């Protein structure tokens, strides 16, 4: 008989949920909420799967993950079929195994564990849509649900994560004038502007240090125009810069910083267009860093520590190197605390898998935190 936790994670993997087509996995979430005694289980207007356990007045804690996955890619490159949810050598395999269906399974089971042990307040488990492209699901959730703290289960090798840098795709457009390459002096070579800019970028002062390690600006691509000839002086060029930001650096600050070294008023600096419009029109994701001394963070640190010690593992604290829904989820001030089973390096790869031991550790950690954060007030103590 298979462990119900592993079975649920495996069922979620078997239910395909590429971004925008999350329905099958959302349905598995709803069934799991119902099977595990949640008081409410529903899909909201954008397709997020939400389960709620209510135990009277008190705080609200949300355990959150995304149900969408990146595409499986070429199935022949996988050691086991990507939607098999197979368990081999104590690892669960498949797309979404670590990013991040296992965490969602752990959250469902942990909420039910916390309810069995007793708590005071409200516990929400939410599986959101479209994290991999723009984060529509999390934005909708943050606008429609109230909560006091969030655990975000993106993979972290069961370490507590306090945030991550933001990311912006910046385009820098350089001027020029087309001419025959044999009469280059009649034109203006846009690539010469690019070269001067890239060298200036190496000397640009950026925010340094701190828990997130500072910002970075990395040139990643140049497209000159026309791009189909080898004997034409390019009349324009677009340089792409991968900018990693710290909190306080929004799109306007990033553009201003990168514009400060463009000593030619014709040079345009802009955040790339996502093509998606609306609140998500720019290819820019915010940085996030939780206050390490926030009450919820302190309770989580102790609870995760206890849970990990019980399975012979050490508590560690770090930050993620990739972007998550955390900035959206934190929009109304609730701290977002990261903790997830699985190795983040395996996310999006054809080796995506997670150790079954991580699932057990994460379930225990989530339950321990829920019980501690939603503890019944002792006699005379305020909730």
Nearer Cβ to Zn ion (305/341): 341
Convert residues 150-169 into a mask of x (bound to Zn ion by CB under 5 A) and - (unbound). Answer: ----x---------------
CA–CA separation, 303 vs 309, rounded Å? Answer: 10
Size of the site for Zn ion (CB under 5 A): 3
| Greatest alpha-carbon span in the chain | 88
Burial class (CB in 10 A: 0-12, 13-18, 19+), 226: exposed
Residue 258, both tokens? 């990168």
What would the x/- binding string for Zn ion be over residues 315 to 354, using CB under 5 A?
----------------------------------------
Q: What's the closest the beta carbon of residue 152 comes to Zn ion, in angstroms?
A: 9
Indicate the residue among 26 and 100 with the shorter CB distance to Zn ion.
Answer: 100
* Residue whose CB is nearest to Zn ion in the complex, by number: 99
Q: Which is nearer to Zn ion, 100 or 355 (CB)?
A: 100
CB of 135: closest distance to Zn ion in angstroms? 11
- CA 301, CA 198: separation in Å to the nearest integer? 43
Question: What is the smallest separation between the CB atom of 320 and Zn ion, expressed in angstroms?
Answer: 10
131 catalytically annotated: yes
Min dist. Cβ of residue 184 to Zn ion (A): 48
Judged by CB under 5 A, the stretch of 115-123, 146-154, 262-270, 292-300 that binds Zn ion is 146-154
| Residues 29-58, interacting with Zn ion (CB under 5 A) | none
d(CA 281, CA 251): 12
Three-state secondary-structure class, residue 312:
coil
In the bound state with Zn ion, the residue whose beta carbon lies nearer, of 99 and 358, is 99
Measured distance CA(248)–CA(214) in Å, rounded:
12
Among 22, 31, 57, 131, the one annotated catalytic:
131
Q: Which residues pair with 179 in a beta bridge?
A: 233
State the minimum distance, in angstroms, from the CB of residue 353 to Zn ion.
15
- Taking 3-state DSSP, the helix, strand and coil percentages for the chain, each rounded to the nearest 5, stand at 35, 25, 40
Which of 68, 344, 352, 368 is an active site residue? Answer: 68
Distance, CA of 4 to CA of 109 (rounded, Å):
9
SS3 12: helix
CB of residue 99 to Zn ion, shortest distance in Å: 4
Interface of this chain with Zn ion, residues 56 to 115, rule: CB under 5 A: 99-100
Q: Which C-beta is closer to Zn ion: that of 22 or that of 99?
A: 99
Rg (CA), the chain: 24
Q: How far apart are CA 315 and CA 324, in angstroms?
A: 22
Say whether 68 is catalytic. yes
- Measured from the CB atom, the residue of 156 and 224 that comes closer to Zn ion is 156
- Provide, rounded to whole angstroms, the least separation between the CB of residue 82 and Zn ion: 16
Mark 122-141 with x for binding to Zn ion (rule: CB under 5 A) and - for no binding: --------------------
In degrees, to the nearest 5, what angle opens at C-alpha 139 toward C-alphas 137 and 140?
65
Length of the chain measured in residues: 383
Indicate the burial class of 110 (C-beta count within 10 angstroms; 0-12, 13-18, 19 or more): buried
- The answer to whether 352 and 97 are in contact (CB under 8 A) is yes
At which residue do the structure tokens 């309810």 appear? 115
Cβ 238 to Zn ion, closest distance in Å?
30
Candidates 107-115, 147-155, 239-247, 326-334; binding stretch for Zn ion (CB under 5 A): 147-155
Cβ proximity to Zn ion: between 99 and 368 the closer is 99
CA distance 17 to 361: 25
Q: What letter would DSSP give residue 204? A: -
Site for Zn ion in 194-233 (CB under 5 A): none
Whose Cβ is closer to Zn ion: residue 317's or residue 344's? Answer: 344
Active site members: 68, 131
Q: Which residues bind Zn ion (CB under 5 A)?
A: 99-100, 154
């Amino acid at each position: 008989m298979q462990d119900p936790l592993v079975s649920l994670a495996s069922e979620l993997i078997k239910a395909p949920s590429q971004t925008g087509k999350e329905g099958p996995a959302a349905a598995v979430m709803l069934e799991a909420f119902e099977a595990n005694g949640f008081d409410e289980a529903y899909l909201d207007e954008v397709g997020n799967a939400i389960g709620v356990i209510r135990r009277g007045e008190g705080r609200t804690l949300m355990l959150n993950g995304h149900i969408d996955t990146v595409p499986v890619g070429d199935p022949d490159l996988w050691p086991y079929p990507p939607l098999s949810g197979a368990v081999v050598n104590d690892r669960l395999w498949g797309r979404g195994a670590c990013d991040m269906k296992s965490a969602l399974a752990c959250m469902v089971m942990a909420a039910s564990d916390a309810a069995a042990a007793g708590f005071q307040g409200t516990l929400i488990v939410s599986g959101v849509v479209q994290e991999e492209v723009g984060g529509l699901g999390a934005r909708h959730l943050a606008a429609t649900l109230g909560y006091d703290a969030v655990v975000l289960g993106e993979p972290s090798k069961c370490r507590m994560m306090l945030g991550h840098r933001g990311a912006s795709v910046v385009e820098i457009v350089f001027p020029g004038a087309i001419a025959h390459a044999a009469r280059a002096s009649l034109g203006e070579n846009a690539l010469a502007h690019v070269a001067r800019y890239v060298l200036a970028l190496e000397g640009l002062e950026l925010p340094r240090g701190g828990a997130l390690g500072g910002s970075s600006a990395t040139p990643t691509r140049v497209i000159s125009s026309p791009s189909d000839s080898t004997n034409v002086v390019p009349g324009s060029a677009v340089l792409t810069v991968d900018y990693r930001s710290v909190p306080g650096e929004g799109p306007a600050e990033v553009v201003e910083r990168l514009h400060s070294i463009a000593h030619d008023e014709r040079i345009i600096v802009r955040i790339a267009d996502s093509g998606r419009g609306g609140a998500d029109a720019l290819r820019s994701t915010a940085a996030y860093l939780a206050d390490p001394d926030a009450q919820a963070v302190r309770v989580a640190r102790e609870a995760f520590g206890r849970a990990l010690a019980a399975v012979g593992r050490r508590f560690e604290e770090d930050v993620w190197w990739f972007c998550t829904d955390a900035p959206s989820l934190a929009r109304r001030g609730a701290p977002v605390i990261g903790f997830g089973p699985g190795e983040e390096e395996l996310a999006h790869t054809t080796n995506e898998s997670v150790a079954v031991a991580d699932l057990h550790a994460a379930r225990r950690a989530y339950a321990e935190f829920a019980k501690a954060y939603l503890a019944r007030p002792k006699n005379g103590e305020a909730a």
